[in-house]
Amino acid sequence: MPLNIIIGTQWGDEGKGRVVDLLAGQADYVARYNGGDNAGHTVQVGKQTFKLHLIPSGVIQPHTVGVIGNGLVVNPAVLLQEVEMLRALDIEIGPKRLKISHAAHIITPAHLALDAAREQARGIGKIGTTLRGIGPAYNHKTERSGLRVEAMRDLENFAESLKAHVETINKQLTTLYNAEPLDAQAVTEEYVNYAHQLKPYISNVSILLSQALQHGENVLAEGAQGTLLDLDHGTYPYVTSSNPTAPGALVGLGLGVGHIGHVIGVTKSFQTRVGEGPFPTEVDGSTAGRLRGTGVNPWDEFGTTTGRPRRVGWLDIVLLRYALRVNGVTELTITKLDVLSGLDALKICVGYRAGDQVYADLPLGPTDLDYEPVYEELNGWREDIMSVRAWDDLPAAAQAYVEHIEALCGVPAKMISVGPEREQIIQR
């Protein structure tokens, strides 16, 4: 059985969590491969809403094993809180159901303090990070001074390394950023306690998943964030510090290239972004209010991790085609089609204009967004489609919207979500 990869084609928040939850029904392992608790994946099962940041959303399906790959940066405090939160909801996540790669990196309070200090120092040039210590933890990884999860197996050495790590960052905080230092001893004690609790979860994820694939088991890789936030392929520097794109799944789980089955690109039926950076199809005013919602529903467009209102806009086919290319997407899942109900007309961006020239692809990719979007306008529909379960029952204008996206992208949309609940999905 293959490795299937779920990725976001936009700036994250495409609704990957609910798609993972659905496809995890057929998976043995569900593995996160990038990022950390900057992610926020929401899954609605009946009246229960699960909001997960670090543990793969697929563990809500009780037969799965959740995996945290080497590509992640892990905040142990958040991880243990999530284990407790799931336990309180009767989902038992012990070391048999959750495996953490020995080679993942650890986020400490010093990384959080650095993230905040650096954002403040950037002033108006700030990235708008989630302040979860993601960038600084990956900095230390690439600088080769990071703390890996495997260090937790030897508590004495771990305590020493951790203390030295906090003391080094304290110097940076006080001298470069005029920020308060942390209590290195207190952080060390806190983290030694976490290490005690997390030791049984540490695993060689590369061996575990490779053997599972060889034995015909099904592995679902769950991307966090989205293509346009990818460190290499996104709107740099307004990106995250990892590779959410599909190839990141191989590096971030320690798997070879021969296993890939489907790459499922999850695309919201409009566009959203949190944080700073370019967003050419962004809208404001009443259309934005309609797309964003008011915040009363868990699925309204407010950040799962930070609560910030998301910026909203029209679907950008130029960026979508780009995402399909850099990920090798084999099928699309279009989410939140129901949110478009009631709009008179729908716009989609099909090109970018500079003078007389219209580009179907951006010459330098998504950092090259200094152009004017060229829109096509499609008819909207009035009907509420949240109870529709079959393609043939969708209004003609909704079908035409989806079919037009497929025609422009050359990739089939196999699933369309029309509401937040597990069964509010149309399979084709």
List residues near ligand IMP by CB under 6 A: 11-13, 38-40, 127-130, 132, 134-135, 224-225, 229, 238, 240-241, 274-275
243-274 b/e (C-beta count within 10 Å ≥ 16 → b): bbbbbbbbebbbbeeebbebbbbbbbbbbbbb
> Closer to ligand IMP at the Cβ: 2 or 293?
293
> Closer to ligand IMP at the Cβ: 36 or 365?
36
**Shortest gap between Cβ of 19 and ligand IMP (angstroms)?**
15
**Shortest gap between Cβ of 199 and ligand IMP (angstroms)?**
27
Task: State the catalytic residue, choosing from 21, 28, 37, 41.
Answer: 41
Q: Nearest to ligand IMP by Cβ — which residue?
A: 275
Q: Give phi and psi for 427, each to the nearest 5.
A: -105, 135
**Shortest gap between Cβ of 274 and ligand IMP (angstroms)?**
4
> Closer to ligand IMP at the Cβ: 173 or 229?
229
**Shortest gap between Cβ of 39 and ligand IMP (angstroms)?**
4
**Shortest gap between Cβ of 38 and ligand IMP (angstroms)?**
4
**Shortest gap between Cβ of 60 and ligand IMP (angstroms)?**
18
Residues in a beta bridge with 358:
353
Contact, 257 vs 110, CB < 8 A?
no
Secondary structure class of 63 (helix, strand, coil): coil
> Closer to ligand IMP at the Cβ: 191 or 302?
302
Peptide bond into 280 cis (omega under 30): no
> Closer to ligand IMP at the Cβ: 128 or 261?
128
Q: How many CA atoms lie within 13 A of 313 on its CB side?
A: 20
User: Closest Cα to residue 400, out of 364, 357, 360, 346?
Assistant: 346
> Closer to ligand IMP at the Cβ: 57 or 330?
57
Contact, 218 vs 118, CB < 8 A?
no
Secondary structure class of 58 (helix, strand, coil): helix
Nearest-angstrom CA–CA distance, 110 and 112? 5
Nearest-angstrom CA–CA distance, 169 and 158? 16
> Can you tell me which residue has the tokens 């005690």?
196
Whether 41 sits among the annotated catalytic residues: the reply is yes
Whether 300 sits among the annotated catalytic residues: the reply is no
Task: State the catalytic residue, choosing from 13, 21, 28, 338.
Answer: 13
Contact, 276 vs 128, CB < 8 A?
yes
| Residues with a known catalytic role | 13, 41
